[in-house]
Amino acid sequence: MTEEIIIAGFGGQGVLSMGKILAYSGIMQDQEVSWMPSYGPEMRGGTANVTVILSDNRISSPILFEYDTAIILNQQSMDKFEKSVKVGGTLLYDPNGIIHPPQRKDIKIYKVEAVEEAARMQSAKSFNMIVLGAFLKIKPIVKLENIIKGLKKSLPERHHHLIPMNEKAITRGMEIIEEVK
């Protein structure tokens, strides 16, 4: 199994940390992982993206130009990465702020209204975990228990009390994801 993912959105949306949790979860189930962010001034308030790869085998390139899955969280990233999804691949997006929804017919498209749901849960910070839950619903590449283990390893001890909230958000994301036909 190899899953090549791009997660792209605004800086501050938790794009990089979502990727980190996913990668840590991969380690928890003994997989090879890589996490390659865009870096530099473009990250200060602008767009942020990270390429995450989980694989049972040695990972070749940590930098990719086409992906099994694109998780897209703003319009700029939609413009940039919709075309980079492999034929037959998956695009998951949050329609919040998306003016031009994805048009491709040769990929599977899903949406998750994570911004709205996070507001409803009165927990804006749960946003990225709702998205992660939605992704795991369609691509169950890591087990929930390994996500929790990954969270425990990647979060400092003082934040461990937030883990139940994260778990709730992941579960919620799994419930509210919809396929776009």
Partner 1 sequence: MADYRLMKGNEVIAEAAIRYGCDGYFGYPITPQSEIMETLMLRKPWEETGMVVLQAESEIAAINMVYGGAACGKKVMTSSSSPGISLKQEGITYIAGAELPCLIVNVVRGGPGLGTIQPAQSDYFQAVKGGGHGDYRLIVLAPASVQEMNDFVGLGFDLAFKYRNPVMILSDGVIGQMMEKVQLGEFKPRWTNEQIIKMYGSWATTGKTPDRKHNIITSLELDSSRQEKFNHKLIEKYKVISENEVRFEEIACEDAEYLFIAYGSSSRICQKAIEIARAKGIKVGLLRPITLFPYPTKKIQSMLSKIKGILAVEMSAGQMVEDVRLAVEGKVPVQHFGRLGGMIPTPNEVVHALEEQIIKGK
Query: Which residue ranges make up the site for partner 1 (CB under 8 A)?
Result: 20, 23-24, 27, 30, 32-37, 39-41, 58-65, 153-154
Closer to partner 1 by CB, 25 or 126: give it: 25
Q: In the bound complex, what is the minimum distance in angstroms from residue 64's beta carbon to partner 1?
A: 8
Smallest gap from Cβ 104 to partner 1, in A, equals 19
C-beta of 69: minimal distance to partner 1 in Å? 17
Helices 127-138, 163-176: axis angle to 10 degrees equals: 50
Radius of gyration of the chain (CA): 15
Residue 160, SS3? helix
Nearest approach, Cβ of residue 56 and partner 1 (Å): 13
Q: Are strands 67-72 and 85-93 parallel, antiparallel or unpaired?
A: parallel
Half-sphere exposure of 120 (CA within 13 A, CB side): 10
Smallest distance, partner 1 to C-beta of residue 65, A: 4
Q: Which CB, 20 or 111, lies closer to partner 1?
A: 20
Q: What angle do CA 100, 125, 158 make, to 5 degrees?
A: 155
Q: Which residues contact 127 (CB under 8 A, 6 or more apart)?
A: 13, 14, 114, 115, 118, 169
Q: Which is nearer to partner 1, 71 or 115 (CB)?
A: 71
Collapsed DSSP state (helix, strand, coil) of residue 150: helix
Q: What is the DSSP letter of 158?
A: G
Q: Which is nearer to partner 1, 125 or 149 (CB)?
A: 149
Indicate the residue among 156 and 179 with the shorter CB distance to partner 1: 156
